[in-house]
Amino acid sequence: MREPASSDDLLAWYDRHARQMPWRVPPQDRAKGIAPDPYRIWLSEVMLQQTTVAAVKDYFVKFTSLWPTVVDLAAAEDADVMAAWAGLGYYARARNLLKCARVVTTELGGIFPTTREGLQALPGIGPYTSAAISSIAYDLPEAVLDGNVERVMARLYAIETPLPTAKPELMALSQALTPPKRAGDYAQAVMDLGATICTPKNPACGICPWRDPCEARASGIATELPRKLAKKAKPVRRGIAYVLRNPAGDWLLETRPEKGLLGGMLGWPGSEWNDAPVPTPPADTDWERVEVEVRHTFTHFHLILDVMTANADSDPNVGKFVPHAKFRPTDLPTVMRKVFDAAKHRFEQN
């Protein structure tokens, strides 16, 4: 009979193989009493929601260079934060980031709550993020269940119930393994294990610290788990984006409504995104259609945009012109940057 999985075995592995992260305090430093900064843990966890570590690292460094503390972030201009976030996606996170920073600064004296309940009362912090901050920042024995941990637990215990149905069972198993001491290191260890050893394809079972107690490995079904319910095909929506310049070379941009996709971000004026978009040009002028369509995938749908370009010979009815010297395509969300890339050659030819 196999010995049950032990958090001690995983922690011993983590002490040797912990990944280096710009927001992480290495286990050797934590052992010396160096505590993580809750601000940096919170910021990293918000950025990591539905986003890979590789994509987040540079953004995290940029944010903490511009705004080293939560008080600094709370004092930042909304437009500056949204511009710094551009390209990271899921822009409601950036809006909630500011809201949360301002609540922590104005109502809590710049200090994050030290309980999961207190954290979860803040804007943009849900059950997962509150558990992650509680565990990693404060060493509280809260189970952290992300995609990596789900995969590890499903294989360790050979749970064949498909996701997302299996989530409660996987959470209970994860909580049962979470130790009362070094909970923060343990949470990061499980995530590291899933990211580097217990990977979705071709898991390196031979060097896994939990290879002996792993029931899926013993049954030869590790690569089949976790099972997942079939996803519905994403619908396709269409839209029109308008790229307009005036004689001075300035670019017409608008700030998108606070609510909805890309809320609060700069973008090109355009139509609604639906099955049959109605043309809504921002100015009465001669528009030319760019030959290449812009394609972008959001969480719930695929988007195809027709791109229209023109030089202004009348006043626009929406947005405002941004001087060319101040215009930075990197301030735009990814789909709007794609529109610019498709349109810019048209102006270069003129």
The CATH number for 256's domain is 3.90.79.10
Which pLDDT score is estimated for 280?
94
Which pLDDT score is estimated for 345?
87
Which pLDDT score is estimated for 340?
96
Do 171 and 290 belong to one domain? no
Residue 1, domain member (yes or no): no
Which pLDDT score is estimated for 349?
57
Do 178 and 248 belong to one domain? no
**Which segments of the chain have a pLDDT < 50?**
none
Cis before 277? omega within 30: no
Which pLDDT score is estimated for 325?
93
- Cβ count near 127 (within 10 Å): 12
Residue 231, domain member (yes or no): no
Residue 253, domain member (yes or no): yes
Residue 230, domain member (yes or no): no
Task: Respond yes or no: is residue 45 known to be catalytic.
Answer: yes
Which pLDDT score is estimated for 1?
56
Q: How many domains does the chain have?
A: 2
Residue 271, domain member (yes or no): yes
Q: Which of 245, 251, 269, 263 is nearest to 333 (CA)?
A: 263
Do 51 and 145 belong to one domain? yes
Do 242 and 129 belong to one domain? no
Which pLDDT score is estimated for 350?
52
Which pLDDT score is estimated for 3?
80
Which pLDDT score is estimated for 339?
96
Which pLDDT score is estimated for 4?
86
Do 192 and 263 belong to one domain? no
Q: Which of 3, 45, 77, 224 is flagged as catalytic?
A: 45
Do 219 and 245 belong to one domain? no
- Domain limits for position 212: 7-224
